[in-house]
Amino acid sequence: MLKNEEIDQLTGLPNLYSFRKNAQKLMDDRTKTEREFAIIYFDVQNFKSYNSRYGFEAGDRFLQNMAKHIEKIFPELMVARFSDDHFVALSYFNSLESRIDDLRRRVVNYNPDAGVELHAGIYELEPDDTDISVACDRARIACNSIKTKYDNAFRYYDKELGNQLDLAHYIIHHINEAVLNGYLRVYYQPVVRVITGRVCGFEALARWDDPVHGFLMPGVFIPLLEDAHLIYKLDAFVIKQVCEDIREYMDQGYQPQPVSINLSRTDFHQKDMYRLVNDAVHTNKIPKNLIHIEVTESALDDNQDVLKGTIDKFRRGGYQVWMDDFGSGYSSLNLLKDYEFDVLKFDMKFLQNFGSNPKEMAIWENVINMAEEIGIQTLAEGVETMEAWDFLKRVGCEKAQGYFFGRPMNKSECMDYLDEFKEEIRPSRSVLLEEEAALDRNKTIVELKDEEPEEEEMDRIGTIEDERFMAESPVYLTLAARGFVSLLEYNSYSQFQKHSFFIVANLTQDSLQRVYLSGKRKLLDKAYRRLESYQQMIDDIVENTVIQEEKRNVSDFFSKDRLILAYHSGITFDEIEFHRIVDIKMAPRWTHTIYQVMEDHGDIIAYFLSFDIDEFKRSKDLVRQMAERDALTGLYNRHTAVPLIRNRLYRHQSGKSAMIMIDVDNFKDINDKYGSFAGDEVLRRISARLDDTFGRDGIVCHIDQDEFLVFLENILVTNTEDRITELCDNVFGVRYHDDKITFTVSAGYVIHPEQGRGYHDLYRKADMALCMAKNAGKGTAIKYSEK
């Protein structure tokens, strides 16, 4: 007879204490029989949901019913309820699998609509097993290993699981040793801007290079440390190491990139993570904007008051907070409502069929559009192909990471990676400003890259001696300079020298050391000589040769005090582009200046090279205009206009806007009757009229064939409606050879924000309104209506 303290009060089965005591005795006596013993550990999946849906009383009845079935199917030795929905049986080995299947069917059929499942872990007792508790743990481990595998009802404990158990035990008991002895290392994976492909940050990833078990991946040790509530030791190490690495990088004169750090949900309950991060940042004297905090969506299900308070503290303290694994849970949209995030990060695994499933593209296009509207950036991880990158460009995702852009790298590899990136011809400050502005408008900037095989690139890399020879060789420097001059569209190297300035200044002494100004040391009829004041010369140049709008910026750039401060901050070179007045009778010309600062015998010396790039800028502007404009009509093309419109909608603060779809009526008939050249002439003429009507205060775009898109900001609705109506009331005439072609246009429009918010929503509604206008008759304008 069992005592009361040995009985589970709900089911009447033996409890954990009773099972361990009596099963231990049965195991000790098993040598008296030749029959094999097995421990079976049962776990009911989704039992918490069952309780939530049907109530605790129904849940108790479920467990009582399950207990009766276990006793009936495994009657020979002993069964027990360990806790909650966990049961254990000590049984003979005969027909074991069929009996587990029988029990599973009975459990599931008790309430088929409940969605519960039964999993079992089996441990076959070995002759040398002496501890029943260890045997039960092994059965439990086998059961837990198939928790997420609904097609497997049971699993045996085997050598693989045994190795996993040994490894788990090793990891938990050696985390301190791994931190102290340098077995843990931080790897960095690049994050790039989708539009340009340029690196804009890194994600810090932990790796464990163990002397016993070799290289351990985070998917192995992170879940174990989380379950053991030891993950804070790993995350504290990563935070400290990342801040130290950034400091080291800055001390070597490099421009650092932001790094995002993953924090576990258990961190927030065990440690003051804000203080931990902030102390590391202040100790290493790095800017807060270089550290971003990543929190997984699943972590937000835990104690929300604690987590929300810490997230808000991070953001108030000047740190960005990112939501990792967005879309992997069931409450993503609620979390966006309740929390403030700077970036949403989603995995490309959710977009496996983006090339063939239009629904996926529509879903993510709208998710990204929604994020933009509420002021959150988007980042896709796991990008591994060019197709995936192209997809992200199409849907407007802002950032990306994955093996396509770069694998995770240790600190040394990462510094080499950035060093190579740094040594490329760097874009000027004004170009970077242009590109940032373009990114703010979601404009596309495409960089053409060398497509030669990687092996051939490697063959071209020489030794350190080769590089030193190249750096010191006057022939190499001359050829490089001539090639550079050719790219800038100078006719000859001598012409480049004629239009360039070279200045060497001792900033510490505020004196000029060398001055080369277009072949004679004069600038606007004023001569400058050695040992004169550098700052005075700069003040004269800015005052007399720089256009008014750029004087302050240029003056700050050349300022002696700023250059010295920048040098002590680790910035040894920079560049700027500005408009310089060459002749008061001529238009100002673009000038590019680059400088290098170094120390010589305790003094800070600056070397400046300025040269004329006006022809290069004009050529570049022409190319940009050709890329942005439709060749036939001269209006914006779709690829340029859509990002511009999306950006203006995103930055919309007040007032009303309108999106208008316009279509040439019976355009196909015009092409058929008069020919395609006549049709082109019609499109050119109506484009000019649309640009004249709307171009001064909006964006006018030629979408395709005879369709046009217009976006107007800060409108008076009645005035805009009158302009659209007047346009559609006209009958336009175009003379083409001996023919006079007459036609009308129809329009559909929608008002923002009262009738829609995002670009796709407004476009869809304007298109619907245009369809209604076409159906109502030619030369008609209709405003979108829900009716």
Predicted confidence at residue 48, as pLDDT, reads 83
**196-254 residue pLDDT tens:** 888 899 999 999 999 998 888 888 888 888 878 888 899 999 999 999 999 998 888 87
pLDDT band for 777, please (50, 70, 90 cuts): confident
pLDDT tens for residues 602-614? 899 999 888 888 8
CB atoms within 10 A of CB 477: 12
Q: How many other CB atoms are there within 10 angstroms of residue 279's CB atom?
A: 14
| Cα separation, 89 vs 92, whole angstroms | 10
DSSP run (H or E) holding 172: helix 159-181
Least Cα distance to 662 among 585, 748, 601, 586 occurs for: 748
**Mean pLDDT of the region 522-526:** 48
- The answer to whether residues 78 and 14 touch, using CB atoms and an 8 Å cutoff, is yes
The residues, any chain, with a CB within 8 Å of residue 636's CB and separated by 6 or more, are 628, 629, 630, 644, 699, 700, 701, 702
Q: What is the pLDDT of residue 524?
A: 45
Least confident of 42-46, 317-321, 584-588: 584-588
Measured at the CA of 62, the angle between CA 58 and CA 65, to 5 degrees, comes to: 135
pLDDT of 470: 55
DSSP code at position 348:
G
CA distances to 39, 104, 173, 244 from 100, rounded to whole Å, are 12, 6, 36, 55
* pLDDT value for 778: 84
Contacts for 779-782: CB closer than 8 Å, 24+ residues apart: 779/665, 779/728, 779/729, 779/730, 779/731, 779/744, 779/745, 779/746, 780/728, 780/746, 780/747, 781/721, 781/724, 781/725, 781/727, 781/728, 781/746, 781/747, 781/748, 781/749, 782/747, 782/748, 782/749
Phi, psi of 203 (to 5 degrees): -110, 135
Tokens 């807060």 -> residue: 288
Judge whether residue 449 has pLDDT over 70: no
Residue bearing the bigger pLDDT, 447 or 397: 397
Nearest to 381 by CA among 323, 333, 337: 323
With beta carbons less than 8 A apart as the criterion, state whether 593 and 608 touch.
Answer: yes
Secondary structure of the chain: what % helix, strand, coil (to 5)?
A: 50, 25, 30
Euclidean distance between CA atoms 533 and 510, whole angstroms: 5
Three-state DSSP at 774 gives helix
CA angle, corner 385, sides to 381 and 390, nearest 5?
A: 85
Dist CA 117 CA 474 (whole Å): 78
The mean per-residue pLDDT over the stretch 252-278 comes to 86
Phi, psi (deg, nearest 5) at residue 517: -120, 90
pLDDT tens digits, one per residue of 238-247: 999 999 999 9
> Between residues 407 and 781, which one has the greater pLDDT?
781
662, β-bridge pairs: 708, 747
Predicted local distance difference test score (pLDDT) of residue 429? 46
704-725 pLDDT tens trace: 889 999 999 889 999 999 999 9
- Look at residues 766, 787, 761 and name the one whose alpha carbon lies nearest to residue 663: 766
Q: Give the pLDDT mean for 190-194.
A: 90
**Cβ(2)–Cβ(18) below 8 Å:** yes
Per mean pLDDT, which range of 489-503, 505-519, 647-661 is the poorest? 489-503
Which residue's structure tokens are 């599973």?
Answer: 104
Q: 304 pLDDT band (50/70/90 cuts)?
A: low
Note the pLDDT tens digit of each residue in 738-755. 889 999 999 999 999 888
Q: What is the pLDDT of residue 478?
A: 61
User: Environment class of residue 282 by beta-carbon count within 10 Å: exposed (0-12), middle (13-18) or buried (19+)?
Assistant: exposed
Is the CA virtual torsion 140, 146, 151, 157 positive or negative?
A: negative
Kind of pairing between the strands at 199-210 and 214-216: antiparallel
